[in-house]
A and B are shown apart, each in its own frame.
Chain A
Amino acid sequence: MRASAVRSVFLTRAARPAEASKRVLVLGGDSIGMNIAERFAIDGFPVLLLGYPAGTQVRDRITLAPDTVLDELQGFTGAFDAILTNSAGRSVERVGFVVAAQPEARVPKFEDYQLPSSRGIVSLSQLEDMLQSGDESLTRRGEWLHVAFLFGLSGESEPAVFSRVLSAIEHLGQGEKVQSYVFTRNLKVAADGLERRYRDCRESGAIFFKFDDAGPVFTSNSGGTLMVFREPLLGLEMELMPDLLVVDERLNPPASLKPLLETTPLAYLSAPFLQPESIRFSGVQTPKAGMFAVGPSRGVFDPAVIEDDVEAVVTALKESVAGVPDVTLPGSPVVDAAKCVMCLTCLRLCPHGAITFAKTAEVDPATCVRCGICAVECPMTAISLAPPAGDPDMISAIRQGLAATSGQGKIVAFLCSRSAAQALKSVPLRDVENLIPIVVRCAGTIAVPHVLEAFQQGAAGVIAAGCFQGNCASGYGTILAEERIALVRELLSDAGIDRDLVRFVPMAGNTPGVLGGAVRELEDRINKDIVKG
């Protein structure tokens, strides 16, 4: 991802236009993309739709781009440049938003089960096509038809696939003389109505075998595929030669997400999906402002949740247009052009892809979430992050906090606003009497000089607290903070000071106990050192 990010630097356009574009690039493929496009059009957003079912009608405000793929996405919310290719060549389209709403990639598990695809062995999608087209081999038959479904026998499956298996059984059941069998490990019923439908299917005659082991052994001969298995409930040896063996499918995210993943370094956490797996990115939000993930592109396959996603992405766009300012947001980082040597460190490290280059590094204020990582990592200290209006900067806050006390026994705690600062609210006051809290927006803002400043001003100990790994809203702010604290501990050790007077403590907003415990431990340590020294 880094290589391509660097590449796009040299293609960077002029500054952000005054008027943000309201046009939406929708990456679709099936009816979901189409739905989204229509919803946007109704709400007054012009749409450029890539990927749609054959026969889709042209509508007001929707431009269809036939056989076109997105090669690269540059720029920022309100002013993205989508570089597209089709048979006519490359073109650049200006859009304000990008929505990834492609259908999932369905991969039949023939190989997993070591079964060849053949007339008698089909994938679930193939069976669905047969049912749709009224395939004779399924309907007009004098004899019994035995259909065996393999569901999640190799690799755990998904409720969305189970729902399709049940639909197929329901459909087959409409003909006469059909016996369906499902060979499975774990049924996936965690979606609307599935338990009910599963029970109905069983009641109307479908037979379910649930295995704890690998399940049936398959042997193929001229007559078909023979399944030999130990029936799980009573342990009886059984065999079955179905007329049709249906293989389930793995659901993968759409393969076409690469150009979108390349817009932020956080791809390394989320790939092959567009959204890191974390509650910080709930709904359709991605790490990059103005880019949204619907359904499969964020690992969601349940049709009911996808319906919520469609609604949510429409809501998100309306929110951007409403433009209600976030009063808690500090000012955007400012780059001192005189200091910047264009080393690209900030570009490579900004988790949200907010940095671009003109004559110097520049931050896109609408994309930047103010995590502060760039400011700390810039080797030239060219980037500064202004505190919210009226608040002191970090160094002043440390000085002010310690000034009155000369630091005696005081602990300076750098608390991430997204976790530790919340936790502090529930720690009983008497447990944190000696604490001087410095709230930082992201643990990624905590730098070595801040910690050293605290000691210089007389602090007895320092706690740096950020989110648990995997829960940082900026992906790796907390990892960077941890590394920096490790460095400070080295420095202290080298200077003959107890390294344990500085700690990095991971926590969440709902773990006051972890914060309280860390303070207690550090106080004990300080007292021990005093006794020793």
Chain B
Amino acid sequence: METDAVILGGGIAGLQSAYRLSKLGMRSVIVEKAPFLGGHTARFACKATDRCRLCGACALEDVLRKTRSADSVKPFVRTAVQRVDDENGRFALTLLRKPPRIIPEKCGQCGECEKVCPVDGALARSPLNNELYIDEDKCLFFKDASCRACMEVCPDAAVNLEEEPDTLELNASAMIVATGFKPFDPELKPRFGYGLVPGVVSALEMDAMLRSDTWFPGEGDAEARSAAFIQCVGSRDPKIGRNYCSRVCCGYAVRMARLMKHRFPSLRPTMFYMDIQNFERAFDKSLEEAAEEVRLIRSIPAEVRKGEDGRPELIYHGPGDERVIESFDLVILSIGITPASPEISTDLGVTKDGFCGTDGENVTTRKRGVFVAGTVQAPRSIEETIAHAVAAAGKAASYVKEMKNGGSL
């Protein structure tokens, strides 16, 4: 198969690059390893209260709609790059495509398979269209062939465990790497109690619960409940090699807190922070508004531990240097954006902060013809990811044109 640009990663960055390439009259192939497009954004909740709160998450639905109607964009999901060869500034790739394990055209949505699956999360639903899929990293069949329960129970013969992946050869003139970021693993900061203290969750988990409307503040809604956000978890922390601000977590935490309060007005949210970063224009007013609904405390707790009543207990330095111990019903860790290896053999360079690319260059890399878009290169919001992806698409398109006109540069 021939294309103008191959795009690794089908998150906001990859999709936006593909859409803009199509507007430039270029063909592109998106290679997405997950069973659905959208990346992290696909699991974010809309933060609108009485109005849009500008979180940017619905930009995904917008760009999906636009790429779907562009014939020149070919997205492959459940697909990985097996090999990249680069010949005179052009790329030859071997892609490994896994078949859908639950065939959407056959599946009648009866949910029988979900009832019999012994592994949590092996059978999941796409947050975008609710379709069932199998997570091969969790499913027992792909681990040791010890289970076929879903296949046996499915009345529509929609489960397709045995089909082998196929390979596909792809030639492209340019490559855009848009493989995104890795959320900080909160277990690396055990003092915040993640995985140890019940009631401590990561912001990513919280967001997913808000999206699927599965979060309730607990029994007795009349009784006010409390939630604490802890900021900068895994960011602004040179001791663990994170000497940068993740740029998005102040904004997402305030929006999340306000959405939770909007849904459950008796909730009392608190946010523990170092410095609040701007996430809207006219930020003075935004911050004032936020402070009416969210208690803001400038202090990062020293520890989160299990209190005597079983609830998480936070120990922090209050104003005037006194030690405060306070219990909350829920603690949300505002985890940051960390670099993820794009998992391709080509050496693209590493920035000071460990991301992929070259310091001082926005979208170019060490490798001719390879461009970076989105959070693979640095922490970015969705809005900033879109701007960056447009820049990458523009540069990639110029490169493709040059290659077409004169072969190698």
Question: Nearest CB to that of A197 among chain B residues?
Answer: B243
CA distance A97 to B60 in the complex (A): 28
The yes or no answer to A391 lying at the interface (CB within 8 A) is no
* Beta-carbon contact of B48 and A471 below 8 Å: yes
Known: A190-B245, A234-B321. A425 touches B20 (CB 8 A): no
CB-contact partner of B52 in A189, A199, A304, A468, under 8 A:
A468
* Beta-carbon contact of A510 and B278 below 8 Å: no
CA distance A101 to B60 in the complex (A): 28
Known: A279-B58, A511-B46. A319 touches B23 (CB 8 A): yes
The yes or no answer to A210 lying at the interface (CB within 8 A) is yes
Minimum distance in angstroms from A232 CB to a CB of chain B: 8
8 Å CB contacts to A: which residues of B278-305?
278, 280-281, 283-284, 287, 298
* Beta-carbon contact of B275 and A187 below 8 Å: yes
* Beta-carbon contact of A195 and B298 below 8 Å: no
The yes or no answer to A426 lying at the interface (CB within 8 A) is yes
The yes or no answer to B69 lying at the interface (CB within 8 A) is yes
* Beta-carbon contact of A196 and B352 below 8 Å: yes
User: What does the 1/0 interface line of B380-394 toward A look like (CB < 8 Å)?
Assistant: 001110111011011
Question: Nearest CB to that of B296 among chain A residues?
Answer: A212
8 Å CB contacts to B: which residues of A457-479?
467-471
Give every chain B residue within 8 A of A328 (Cβ-Cβ). Answer: 69
* Beta-carbon contact of A199 and B243 below 8 Å: yes
Say which one of A3-11, A75-83, A306-314, A448-456 lies at the interface with B: A306-314
Give every chain B residue within 8 A of A506 (Cβ-Cβ). Answer: 48
The yes or no answer to A142 lying at the interface (CB within 8 A) is no
Give every chain B residue within 8 A of A194 (Cβ-Cβ). Answer: 245
CA distance A299 to B286 in the complex (A): 15
* Beta-carbon contact of B277 and A188 below 8 Å: yes
Give every chain B residue within 8 A of A308 (Cβ-Cβ). Answer: 362-363, 384, 387-388, 390-391
* Beta-carbon contact of A233 and B394 below 8 Å: no
The yes or no answer to B319 lying at the interface (CB within 8 A) is yes
Known: A189-B275, A319-B20. A212 touches B61 (CB 8 A): no
CB-contact partner of B213 in A234, A284, A314, A513, under 8 A:
A513
CA distance A507 to B46 in the complex (A): 9
8 Å CB contacts to A: which residues of B34-50?
44-46, 48, 50
8 Å CB contacts to B: which residues of A277-295?
277-280, 282-284
* Beta-carbon contact of B24 and A426 below 8 Å: no
A: number of interface residues (CB 8 Å): 70
8 Å CB contacts to A: which residues of B1-52?
20, 22-25, 44-46, 48, 50-52
Known: A467-B52, A470-B54. A422 touches B287 (CB 8 A): no
CA distance A513 to B320 in the complex (A): 45
* Beta-carbon contact of A422 and B65 below 8 Å: yes
* Beta-carbon contact of A315 and B247 below 8 Å: no
Minimum distance in angstroms from A468 CB to a CB of chain B: 4
8 Å CB contacts to B: which residues of A317-371?
318-319, 322, 324, 326-328
The yes or no answer to A409 lying at the interface (CB within 8 A) is no
The yes or no answer to B200 lying at the interface (CB within 8 A) is no
User: What does the 1/0 interface line of A506-528 toward B look like (CB < 8 Å)?
Assistant: 11111111000000000000000
Minimum distance in angstroms from B344 CB to a CB of chain A: 23
The yes or no answer to A181 lying at the interface (CB within 8 A) is no
Question: Nearest CB to that of A42 among chain B residues?
Answer: B398
* Beta-carbon contact of A324 and B22 below 8 Å: yes
Give every chain A residue within 8 A of B243 (Cβ-Cβ). Answer: 195-196, 199
Give every chain B residue within 8 A of A469 (Cβ-Cβ). Answer: 50-52
Give every chain B residue within 8 A of A471 (Cβ-Cβ). Answer: 48, 52, 58
The yes or no answer to B62 lying at the interface (CB within 8 A) is yes
CB-contact partner of A156 in B247, B283, B362, under 8 A:
B283
* Beta-carbon contact of A510 and B46 below 8 Å: yes
Minimum distance in angstroms from A188 CB to a CB of chain B: 6
Minimum distance in angstroms from B405 CB to a CB of chain A: 14
Give every chain A residue within 8 A of B238 (Cβ-Cβ). Answer: 199
CA distance A184 to B116 in the complex (A): 58
Give every chain A residue within 8 A of B280 (Cβ-Cβ). Answer: 277
The yes or no answer to A429 lying at the interface (CB within 8 A) is yes
Minimum distance in angstroms from B370 CB to a CB of chain A: 16
The yes or no answer to B167 lying at the interface (CB within 8 A) is no
B: number of interface residues (CB 8 Å): 71
User: What does the 1/0 interface line of B314-331 toward A look like (CB < 8 Å)?
Assistant: 000001110000000000
Give every chain B residue within 8 A of A512 (Cβ-Cβ). Answer: 130
Known: A188-B278, A429-B109, A513-B213. A327 touches B69 (CB 8 A): yes
8 Å CB contacts to A: which residues of B113-150?
127-130
* Beta-carbon contact of A510 and B60 below 8 Å: yes
Minimum distance in angstroms from A177 CB to a CB of chain B: 28
8 Å CB contacts to B: which residues of A481-522?
506-513
CA distance A148 to B395 in the complex (A): 43
CA distance A419 to B52 in the complex (A): 12
The yes or no answer to A53 lying at the interface (CB within 8 A) is no
CA distance A312 to B394 in the complex (A): 7
CA distance A296 to B25 in the complex (A): 30
Known: A311-B390, A428-B130. A282 touches B59 (CB 8 A): yes
User: What does the 1/0 interface line of B54-97 toward A look like (CB < 8 Å)?
Assistant: 11111111101100010000000000000000000000000000
Known: A277-B54, A422-B65, A510-B45. A315 touches B20 (CB 8 A): yes
* Beta-carbon contact of B58 and A425 below 8 Å: no
The yes or no answer to B397 lying at the interface (CB within 8 A) is yes
The yes or no answer to A45 lying at the interface (CB within 8 A) is no
CA distance A307 to B363 in the complex (A): 10
CA distance A235 to B321 in the complex (A): 8
CA distance A310 to B128 in the complex (A): 33
* Beta-carbon contact of B276 and A186 below 8 Å: yes
CB-contact partner of A277 in B129, B250, B281, B394, under 8 A:
B281
8 Å CB contacts to B: which residues of A121-173?
155-156, 158-159
* Beta-carbon contact of B23 and A309 below 8 Å: no
Question: Nearest CB to that of B274 among chain A residues?
Answer: A187
8 Å CB contacts to A: which residues of B363-409?
363, 378, 382-384, 386-388, 390-391, 393-395, 397
CB-contact partner of B281 in A196, A299, A318, under 8 A:
A299
The yes or no answer to B225 lying at the interface (CB within 8 A) is no
CA distance A25 to B64 in the complex (A): 33
8 Å CB contacts to B: which residues of A180-218?
186-196, 199, 210, 212
The yes or no answer to A273 lying at the interface (CB within 8 A) is yes
* Beta-carbon contact of B362 and A304 below 8 Å: yes
Other contacts beyond A156-B276, A234-B321, A279-B55: 9, CB < 8 A: A189-B244, A193-B353, A210-B298, A282-B387, A316-B390, A469-B51, A470-B53, A508-B52, A510-B58
| 13 pairs, CB–CB < 8 Å, chain A vs chain B | A156-B278, A187-B275, A188-B277, A189-B275, A192-B378, A193-B352, A194-B245, A308-B391, A312-B390, A315-B24, A425-B129, A508-B58, A510-B45
Q: Which residues of B contact A (CB under 8 A)?
A: 20, 22-25, 44-46, 48, 50-62, 64-65, 69, 109, 127-130, 211-213, 236, 238, 243-245, 247, 250, 274-278, 280-281, 283-284, 287, 298, 319-321, 352-353, 362-363, 378, 382-384, 386-388, 390-391, 393-395, 397
4 tightest A-B contacts by CB? A509-B61, A315-B394, A311-B391, A470-B52
